[in-house]
Chains A and B, each alone.
Chain A
Amino acid sequence: MAELSDRLLFVTVLLYALAMLAFAGAAAGSRSKVVTGAAGRPARVLVGSGAPVDERAPAPAVRSGGATRAGRVGIALTGLGWVVHVASVVTRGVAADRVPWGNMYEFSSCAALTAVTAFLVLLHRRRVDATVGAFVMVPVTLYLGLAGTVLYTEAGPLVPALNSYWIKIHVAAAVAASGAFLLSGVVALLYLLRDRYDTMVARGRTPAFPLSLGRSLPPAPSLDRAAYAVIAFAFPVWTFAIIAGAIWAEAAWGRYWGWDPKETWSFITWVLYACYLHARATAGWKGRKSAWVAVAAAAALIIDYYVVNIFVVGLHSYA
């Protein structure tokens, strides 16, 4: 069963990689259409660097760049990959006879699954379109590939410290929030890219690569709102994950909070996302600056996950 799970993960990575190529094709195909769409916008973009997005302007609906054939293929491949991915996670759980998020490898796989799920939800709700796909699937594929090779661990029982029903609650919430946060980080970066592209076009300059990639992306306000929607979902989940972790820590280690490196970085991540939510409501911080905060918060999350787990010794060193 464990072997089946590994094979399924391999197929997943393959499908995601193919989806990535299809999405790249979709982005390339949608350029000519989008340029005309962008041409009408520069005046608004210039209104002031502090408030790059006019809050009251009608939101440009996301054009269906995904309507191109390549985009549809990409979405179909991602959906198929998602199904295989779910199967891989489930068989892993059956093989180990426990929840399939007991070590770093499994955690990565589940976090990638949430990120893809969140991406599919965004697509379904038309918050983003297929032109974003390549930018999402590249990190997802890399992340999964890294998990399957460097972090790979044989399916096995849990160390005693993890043997608690809290692992179902605390880690599941952490996984769900992490996947969504990572996706929001990508979308925030895309927002910055698109915004930069628009600014340059408005100044009459021709953006060079990689800024020229911004041309195929959905309009900046859509990306801004998509990032917010994902973070608004993930933030309460993350908060809950930390609280569930504190309750577990109280039972396992005798204190609910002790500034263990993992706890410290989870706290930093939490505070930075709180900053993002506040920044988005503060004059002079909307748009570009809050997007940078979202990127910084995602970076803190990555440190919390990779650096703390691998290089820092703490109570969370299991994997």
Chain B
Amino acid sequence: MTALQHETAQQARVDADAERLSTAPQPAPPPARGQRAHPFRQAWRQLTSMRTALLLLFLLALASVPGGFIPQRSLNPVEVQKYVTDHPSLAPVLDALSLFDVFAAPWFAAIYLLLFISLVGCLVPRIRLHARALRTKPPQLPRSLARLPASDRWETDAEPAEALAAARTVLKRWRTVERPGGVSAEKGYLRESGNLLFHVSLVVLLVGIALGALYGFKATVLVKDGDGFANTVLAYDDINPGRRFSPDRLEPFDLTLREFKATYAEDGKALTFDAHVEWSAGPGEPRQDYDIRVNHPLAVGDAKVYLIGHGYAPRVVVRDRAGNELRQTVPCLPQDAKFVSSCTIKVPNALNADGSPDQLGFEGVFTPTTAQDPQTGRVTSVFPAADNPALTVVGFRGDLGLDVGETQSVYSLDKTDLTQIDAPPQGLRPGDTWQLPGGGSLTYESTAEWATFQVTQDPGKGLALVASCGMVLGLLLSLFVRRRRVWVRVTGPAGGTAAAGPTVIHAGSAPAPTGGTLIEVGGLARTDHEAFATEFAALTGRLREAAGSRPVASTPAGPAPARSEHPTGATAGG
């Protein structure tokens, strides 16, 4: 290789370096002939490639679609059951494909795990490259600054050293370094930092979610006015603990519902829900008052108590044939927005006059503001508040089937061993008593309300929040910071450059024709070329002022028109 060839090659490398304004991975060169990459290495390279990441992202979106249309067990088991009944042939297929539990399905997990492996595989080398780029000085001046997307040149009477000093002053807020022939400057490293921050935050977010799923718990409990519960596993109607959850992590609080109160607008829309509770953080701790409302949970240590539902619970007294008074407050399940509610009353301890069991059961409808449906003639409710409550019931005698050992829902009667009491449905107002044919009675005394509370503990929550903030910050940086470079070359009257070091004659820059100092500026941005063109014009304007310029007959045009947009650096692999 001759010296000239060598120099040309070196210069080409300098030029290439100057224009490479990204640490984004370059497509790997194809392996040389006859030299095959290790299969594992090849698979790894495939997995961490941008194309694969993109494919996995698409798959993730696609895989979530059924979760948005088909009812999900985790959200609405009742709806799923209904779907299964309505589609007897399709449902088993869907179920086998985990389409009722999309977000817990193994194939869903496979997609996001692969995606995150691909992401990490892509991130690690990029972090290393970026860390190196942060320590690297801006690259050498390319041969021809006029070839760059933005460029400008003019002459000045100032000495080369002065011009150079002026350039450094103008580029004060840039990272600059003096290079042979002039100054190299670079700005916008935060773009890649933001990009990496966003993707690292994604990984941290996943860790936070996993922590919550493993060590957290979620439970619900129905509490009637005046009742309460202690935060123990046994207290809950429904509990959903994480896999690594242990009951001794439960906060030892207890809570009593003093009164539940809802208010409604005239059209029946709910205005406020308010559960007035009394609670204590543990045995021996003082009791405190609190209003749990929607959007206003009670926080006890790590746990939070939310108000998630409410309904009515008529207070009834059943007198059996033996004359015993059996009191109950019966939670009824709301069926519609006007709180028509279905009630089930079970009296397993009712006795005959001779002391033998005579179990009683009642099915009924509770209507808070009672009216008759003009069309069907049936009892209905026209307003959700208990303005004119009524309990309409039918009764049963016999065996409630509670001794069989099978668990039974408290909200329905098993009528196999029950006989209906021969009487039409009875509409009871508060204070009314129904004398049962054959003995005994049912009195509807007054109306209480109930509220359902959800208690959750999620140890990963804080981490997820921090990660989310990192994501937004990273996104903003990576989308709006522009990475760009500017070079200023100063050539003295004799054609020598101003900077220290050997005097080099540059191929692209002829000495100033009129004997002054020639200033050439070139710039390059990776994104948003319009904005860069404006910035470049402002920069050269200030440099003209600082370094001076003298009228030259042949002044080339100002900044060249910006190039069309480059791929964004905002989007790292992964």
Q: Is the CB of B561 within 8 A of A59?
A: yes
Within 8 Å CB of A251, what residues of B? 295-297
Q: Is the CB of A256 within 8 A of B464?
A: yes
Within 8 Å CB of A268, what residues of B? 61, 64-65, 68
User: Which residues of A (265-293) have their CB < 8 Å from a CB of B?
Assistant: 265, 267-268, 271-272, 274-275, 277-286
Number of residues from A at the complex interface, CB < 8 A? 66
Q: Which residues of B contact A (CB under 8 A)?
A: 24, 27, 50-51, 53-54, 57-58, 60-61, 64-65, 67-69, 72, 74-76, 79, 102-103, 209, 218, 265, 269-273, 293-297, 304, 306, 308, 454, 456, 458, 461, 464-465, 468-469, 471-472, 475-476, 479-480, 529-530, 560-571, 573
Q: Is the CB of B564 within 8 A of A55?
A: yes
CA distance A224 to B472 in the complex (A): 24
CA distance A274 to B567 in the complex (A): 14
Q: Is the CB of A281 within 8 A of B564?
A: no
CA distance A53 to B565 in the complex (A): 10
Which 10 residue pairs of A and B lie closest in terms of their CB atoms, listed nearest first?
Answer: A281-B567, A59-B564, A254-B306, A164-B295, A264-B68, A271-B61, A236-B475, A243-B468, A277-B571, A254-B454
Given A258-B74, A275-B61, verify A235-B475 contact (CB < 8 Å): yes
Within 8 Å CB of A281, what residues of B? 24, 50, 567-571
Q: Is the CB of B471 within 8 A of A225?
A: no
Q: Which of A59, A159, A278, A303 contacts B54 (CB 8 A)?
A: A278
CA distance A232 to B479 in the complex (A): 6
**Shortest Cβ distance from B209 into A: residue:** A257
CA distance A55 to B180 in the complex (A): 31
- What is the distance, in angstroms, from B54's C-beta to the closest C-beta of chain A? 5
Can you give 10 contacting A-B residue pairs, CB < 8 Å? Answer: A55-B566, A160-B272, A161-B295, A228-B568, A232-B568, A247-B465, A255-B218, A264-B64, A268-B65, A278-B54
CA distance A229 to B112 in the complex (A): 28
**Shortest Cβ distance from A56 into B: residue:** B563
CA distance A268 to B66 in the complex (A): 11
**Shortest Cβ distance from B274 into A: residue:** A160
**Shortest Cβ distance from B465 into A: residue:** A247
- What is the distance, in angstroms, from B142's C-beta to the closest C-beta of chain A? 15
Given A277-B568, A277-B570, verify A308-B68 contact (CB < 8 Å): yes
Q: Which of B50, B69, B476 contacts A312 (CB 8 A)?
A: B69
Whether a CB of chain B sits under 8 angstroms from the CB of A306 is no
Q: Is the CB of B475 within 8 A of A225?
A: no
Given A239-B471, A259-B103, A272-B61, verify A278-B529 contact (CB < 8 Å): no
User: Which residues of A (237-254) have their CB < 8 Å from a CB of B?
Assistant: 239-240, 243, 246-248, 250-254
Contact mask A181-207 → B, CB, 8 Å, 1/0? 000000000000000000000000000
**Shortest Cβ distance from B464 into A: residue:** A256
Identify which of B27, B61, B570 gathers the most chain A CB atoms within 10 Å of its CB. Answer: B61
Q: Is the CB of A271 within 8 A of B64?
A: yes
Whether a CB of chain B sits under 8 angstroms from the CB of A261 is yes
Whether a CB of chain B sits under 8 angstroms from the CB of A313 is yes
**Shortest Cβ distance from A260 into B: residue:** B75
CA distance A173 to B61 in the complex (A): 22
- What is the distance, in angstroms, from A27's C-beta to the closest C-beta of chain B? 24
Q: Is the CB of B295 within 8 A of A252?
A: yes
Q: Is the CB of B75 within 8 A of A259?
A: yes
**Shortest Cβ distance from A225 into B: residue:** B565
Q: Is the CB of B57 within 8 A of A278?
A: yes
Within 8 Å CB of B529, what residues of A? 59
CA distance A59 to B563 in the complex (A): 6
Identify which of B69, B458, B476 gathers the most chain A CB atoms within 10 Å of its CB. Answer: B69
- What is the distance, in angstroms, from B371's C-beta to the closest C-beta of chain A? 24
Q: Is the CB of A259 within 8 A of B454?
A: no
Within 8 Å CB of B564, what residues of A? 53-59, 221, 225
Within 8 Å CB of A57, what residues of B? 563-564
Q: Is the CB of B458 within 8 A of A275?
A: no
Q: Is the CB of A160 within 8 A of B74?
A: no
CA distance A235 to B568 in the complex (A): 14
- What is the distance, in angstroms, from B194's C-beta to the closest C-beta of chain A? 10
Whether a CB of chain B sits under 8 angstroms from the CB of A37 is no
CA distance A160 to B269 in the complex (A): 9
CA distance A281 to B570 in the complex (A): 9
Whether a CB of chain B sits under 8 angstroms from the CB of A61 is yes
Q: Is the CB of B471 within 8 A of A243?
A: yes
CA distance A221 to B456 in the complex (A): 51
Whether a CB of chain B sits under 8 angstroms from the CB of A49 is no
Contact mask A9-46 → B, CB, 8 Å, 1/0? 00000000000000000000000000000000000000
Within 8 Å CB of B476, what residues of A? 236
- What is the distance, in angstroms, from B538's C-beta to the closest C-beta of chain A? 17
CA distance A259 to B67 in the complex (A): 8
Q: Is the CB of B57 within 8 A of A271?
A: yes
Within 8 Å CB of B573, what residues of A? 278
